[in-house]
Structure 1
Amino acid sequence: MTTITTPRPPSPETDGDAEHLSELGYSYETKFERDVTFWGNVSLGFTYLSPVVGIYTLFASSLGIGGPPMIWSLLIVGAGQFLVAQVFSEVVSSYPVAGGIYPWSRRLWGRKWGWMSGWIYLFALLTSIATVGYGAGPYVADLFGFEPGVDTTIAAAIVLIAISTALNLCGTKILNTVAMIGLIAELGGAIVVGSWLLIASRNQDISVIFQTFGAGGGDGYFAAFAAAGLIGIFQYYGFEACGDVAEEVKNPGTTIPKAMRVTIYIGGAASMFVCLSLLLAVPDFGAVMSGADADPVHSVLSSAFGVVGVKVVLAVVMISFISCLLSFQAATSRLTYAMGRDRMLPLSGLWTRFSKSRRVPPFALLLAGIAPALIVLLSKFSEEGLMAIMSFATMGIYLAFQMVVLAALRARLKGWKPGGQFKLGKWGVPVNVLALAWGVTGMINMAWPRTPDGPWWQNWLTLLSSALVVGTGLLYMRWKKPYLRGTAPAADAIPATDAAAFSLVQEKAGV
């Protein structure tokens, strides 16, 4: 019989967080230090979301497909992801455990669901680290005057991943400090650069954000806007990283939900501001949409700041990339540690090894550095293989998100009463349903085929890579049954009496 664990808010005593963790089924003597401050927690989410990295990387492609109105996707996606963040806030307030998505799914639904969500999220994070590192290559080449190419991109990605791994290995205090430096540098740089573009290098009127400039052609604009809207879908995640380090935050039941909301507010506002400032500084939209100006970000920055100014801006962009990698790795290592602690992964003892002096899991962090570096190296042998792996990055994160959202909705309908300090109350079910509907819509948009002239596999690459990861996970579950290992609590969100009553209603209804 499953043991019922009813979370309650921590006591006001100094060791209240540790007591609460013990009540949730984990050791009273937690290995992590609670050194992550509120703004450190916000910084982790913000630098993971990283508006500069996201907008600068995808601006050219989205503008070329959808024209200036693509900026509205940032607002639409931000609203959808805010609903997801609300669901996450209620869950993490009840279960403030390291690893985020994995323990949340496990407690809300059960061992199998928790294991699969952790498996998907782990692969998504590892491929995301590789994707961010690889995406930094052109900016590194531009900053240092290297010859752009595959070798330069690979070298730059591996160096940046190594730097972020070394910083993470220094401990939680360093993570907290560097993340805050990253937030200040990225947000400050975005404000300064964006303000200068609006004041001194503005070439367009604000009305252009309502003009399509022929995007979509005769097929209608909706399809073009949906494709261009991927800039928003790829932008708005990272707030879940606030919960991944739940055992390193004081009073996490209150601090983390607030940090998630602030991450969305600041990250969304910064993304919109960066995108708008670039749009209004573009001299010729026709050149961008025809492909004549393949890199409008570089063109705009060069025109506005000159050679020396561009180098300064690129230096800030590099800080953004490193802090983004830092946050991704922190989330990955805590997930690996959490699954290892519950004996869900091969070599679990290795992933739970702790540095006594730095209070971090070093081998879990090394995994978060070495595995992405190997993925990046794959491009030397097969760019198609690298593309297949990286295409899973964002889809995997959204899929893992929606596994939590679905589990939370199921648990509510079966009687779950959130026991944390953050509660949605009567809005719980409506918000949960809307968050699920939004997430499914976003995943359909990501998987939709958009290259009719290309090979069939390229059209379905995101779906194929997702099927490969999920299918491999299902086979491994059937073969090794990892979800049966360990004694950590699972499926304890729903009181036994409510679960039995729900099953009886379903039986009578013929479900």
Structure 2
Amino acid sequence: MSEKNTVVAEHHDEDAAHLASLGYSYDAKFKRDMTFWGNVSLGFTYLSPIAGVYSMFAISLGTAGPPMAWAVVIALIGQFFVALVFGEVVSNYPVSGGVYPWSRRLWGRKWAWMNGWIYVVALVGTIAAVSYGAAPFVSAVFGAEATTPAMVLIALGTLVIATLLNFSGTKVLSWAALVGLIAEMIGALVIGGYLLIFGRQWDFSIFFDNFGIGLDAPGGYLGAFAAAALIGMYAYYGFEANGDVAEEIKNPSYVVPRAMRVTLYIGGFATILLTFSLTMAVPNFLAVADGTVADPIAVLLKEAFGPVYPVAMMVIVIAFISCLTSLQAAATRLIYSMSRDHFLPASNFLSKFNEKRAVPTRSLAMAALFPAIILVLSLFLEDALTAMVSFGTVGIYIGFQMVVFAALRARILGWKPAGKFRLGAWAYLVNIIALIWGVAAVTNILWPRPTGGGWAEDYLLIITTVCVVGFGWIYMLVSKAHTKGDAPAGDASGPIKVVA
């Protein structure tokens, strides 16, 4: 056996032994085909700077003016602390499914059920949102009319493409994510670089001048900036997906924490470059604020790239589809992980594998079916899509903070991380900062703001969140879903707890 093959075999044995120590036999269902850069690409395309910035740029700029760009810097710092906590947790528990198995080991069954439930619903809503968000760019490439039925049809088409890519197996998923990373980086560098060199209308001083925008907002300019800061909060989640596929990577205890950090390094660079370069290229901020220019990015790109505008749109389409594919991959692993532990209805059905593809195809089908249902319902119930899309981001942030809080609690109770990535003496400080940041972010996202549509629309996100959490809690108590199966739980800081 060659030296390279010997190393691979040793990693295989070590990974199998680690899984076995966590209560899961390594039965070769998943193939460890994903490389380090494939894992980084998965997290990066889930994070998707292009999708995040393009979705929120006009709203944030019109709400608080150019200083809103600082929000992407603040959010990057806050989320980096969260990624450090996640890195230590996944290094200790490199199990498929992400926040659900981490919560299960750090706290217990009820906490894990609620986090899994909230995160599944959030991912379903986000998948629907991203597929719908891709539709205008697809229509721009092909010159299709942007009617609501056409947008829904295009969104369903992008969802089918993502599902086929996921069905093709880990190696194809890894390559698809890598293509998405390359497309996004080209898009960020070309668009951002071109606008900075040839399209810049202002100097850097504008990022300290609000041009009078947001002064009359509730809470004054601070309130306006807090609302505009959602561009940063929407931009930096996705590194959790690095850990969702921990059973598909060699030496995940070392590789995944590193991939999480690199995902944020690259994603942060691309997001900051795009946000700052786009802002400096906008000729009239007041026109964006008063709605005269509803889509400043489209105007900038058409003026900057002229006849190659469709090519720029195609790069954006690839970014959206890659983001959608990574989101669906994360949702699939989460559904599979919960069904493998018999936490979900029809768990035996959902946990079945396609042995040839090494993909949990029935869980994948659910990660396609439910977003598709939301998209179709939006034709008849517009608020259904709005509610689910709105919950997507806050649900993901709540899921993140349930892990961060569980990790802090476990430390206090005596948890001693034993993975290959450990925070050591910095653990408590990093964990506390991550929790403070996350609570502030969740509060800011949930904060009701005037929309002009009445109190129901102003409080729609809070109402949706209460309904999702309340339904999950009641279902758990009535069905006793958290008592099913015998997978270990609550053993991070002491003996395994079977029911707690």
By the TM > 0.5 criterion, same fold? yes
Q: For residue 190 of structure 1, what is the aligned residue in structure 2? A: 188
The SS at the match of 1:380 is: coil
* CA distance in 2: counterparts of 1:189 and 1:389, whole angstroms: 29
1:62-73 to 2 correspondences below 5 Å: 62-73=60-71
Query: Aligned partner of 1:325: which letter?
Result: L
Give TM-score, length-normalised by structure 2. 0.96
Superposition deviation, residue 495 in structure 1: 2.3
1:254-269 to 2 correspondences below 5 Å: 254-269=254-269
* CA distance in 2: counterparts of 1:182 and 1:218, whole angstroms: 41
Q: For residue 344 of structure 2, what is the aligned residue in structure 1? A: 345
1:117-156 to 2 correspondences below 5 Å: 117-156=115-154
| Contact 2:68 2:229 (8 Å CA) reproduced | yes
* CA distance in 2: counterparts of 1:161 and 1:179, whole angstroms: 15
| Contact 1:128 1:394 (8 Å CA) reproduced | yes
- Distance 1:447-1:14 versus aligned 2 partners, 3 A rule: closer
- Distance 1:189-1:469 versus aligned 2 partners, 3 A rule: same
* CA distance in 2: counterparts of 1:171 and 1:28, whole angstroms: 18
The SS at the match of 2:235 is: coil
* CA distance in 1: counterparts of 2:187 and 2:454, whole angstroms: 41
Query: Aligned partner of 1:379: which letter?
Result: S
* CA distance in 2: counterparts of 1:365 and 1:45, whole angstroms: 18
Query: Aligned partner of 2:247: which letter?
Result: E
Superposition deviation, residue 276 in structure 1: 1.3
- Distance 1:452-1:276 versus aligned 2 partners, 3 A rule: closer
Give TM-score, length-normalised by structure 1. 0.94
Superposition deviation, residue 11 in structure 1: 10
- Distance 1:452-1:147 versus aligned 2 partners, 3 A rule: closer
> Is 1:40 matched up with 2:71?
no
The SS at the match of 1:356 is: coil
Q: For residue 468 of structure 1, what is the aligned residue in structure 2? A: 467
* CA distance in 2: counterparts of 1:278 and 1:394, whole angstroms: 23
| Contact 2:53 2:235 (8 Å CA) reproduced | yes
* CA distance in 2: counterparts of 1:314 and 1:244, whole angstroms: 30
* CA distance in 1: counterparts of 2:407 and 2:260, whole angstroms: 18
* CA distance in 1: counterparts of 2:462 and 2:417, whole angstroms: 34
Query: Aligned partner of 1:410: which letter?
Result: R
* CA distance in 2: counterparts of 1:287 and 1:363, whole angstroms: 49
Identity of aligned residues (%): 53
> Is 1:402 matched up with 2:393?
no
1:68-467 to 2 correspondences below 5 Å: 68-219=66-217, 220-306=220-306, 308-451=307-450, 453-467=452-466
Q: Count residues with an aligned counterpart.
A: 488
Q: Deviations over 1:120-170 (max 9, x none)?
A: 111111110001011112212222111112112101110001100011100
- Distance 1:451-1:432 versus aligned 2 partners, 3 A rule: same
Superposition deviation, residue 189 in structure 1: 1.7
Query: Aligned partner of 1:217: which letter?
Result: L
Superposition deviation, residue 281 in structure 1: 1.2
Superposition deviation, residue 193 in structure 1: 1.5
Query: Aligned partner of 1:270: which letter?
Result: A
| Contact 2:375 2:385 (8 Å CA) reproduced | yes
| Contact 2:122 2:388 (8 Å CA) reproduced | no
List runs of 5+ in structure 1 lacking aligned partners: 1-9, 500-511
* CA distance in 1: counterparts of 2:188 and 2:338, whole angstroms: 37
Superposition deviation, residue 452 in structure 1: 6.2
* CA distance in 2: counterparts of 1:433 and 1:276, whole angstroms: 30
Query: Aligned partner of 1:240: which letter?
Result: E
* CA distance in 1: counterparts of 2:55 and 2:74, whole angstroms: 20
> Which stretch of structure 1 is more off in the superposition, 377-386 or 118-127?
377-386
* CA distance in 2: counterparts of 1:457 and 1:433, whole angstroms: 34
Query: Aligned partner of 2:257: which letter?
Result: P
* CA distance in 2: counterparts of 1:478 and 1:87, whole angstroms: 30
| Contact 1:151 1:380 (8 Å CA) reproduced | yes
List runs of 5+ in structure 2 lacking aligned partners: 1-7
The SS at the match of 1:391 is: helix
| Contact 2:451 2:457 (8 Å CA) reproduced | no
The SS at the match of 2:378 is: helix
* CA distance in 2: counterparts of 1:234 and 1:378, whole angstroms: 24
* CA distance in 2: counterparts of 1:42 and 1:333, whole angstroms: 18
